[in-house]
Amino acid sequence: MREAPGVGLAAPQIGKSLQLAVIEDRAGYISDLSEDELAKRQRAAIPFHVIINPKLTILDKSTAQFFEGCLSLEGYQAIVDRALNVRVECLNERAEEVTINARGWYARILQHEIDHLNGTLYIDRMHSRTLTTTDNMLKFWQSKSIDDVLAELEGDSK
């Protein structure tokens, strides 16, 4: 996960049939983002932790769309709509019950990793016309708003 670099890895991604994922969004991963971008994504550093047998609850109807990638499909990204506010009840690495209330980017990471545990990839949730290589996303779409990208790629339909 760290070598990629990535912010999460689920056991099924490495061939393990376990309801377990690890998550970490290091400060170094976000140090190049502007304050505006950090605020827009509601993103902050997240310390390394383990989630086991997670139960995800969407707390409200608010969502956000951003480009998302995955270590299972390295080199590609697409726009995915995710809930902004979630609760995850799970066990930690010491088999202690924990409840995580997450917002923004952290909520996105949790949903992405829990999807893996349920056999779902981001490409199952993406806006299909937005699938692109990471290189092309950086070259053509990085400086544009998600609404502008969707309008150009999907002909104004979301």
- Active site (annotated) includes residue 37: no
The residues, any chain, with a CB within 8 Å of residue 136's CB and separated by 6 or more, are none
Cα distance between the two ends of the chain: 32
Residue with tokens 């969707």: 150
Active-site option among 3, 113, 152, 154: 113
Residue with tokens 């997450």: 102
**Quick check: 80 and 68 in contact, CB under 8 A?**
yes
**Quick check: 115 and 88 in contact, CB under 8 A?**
no
Catalytic residue annotation: 113
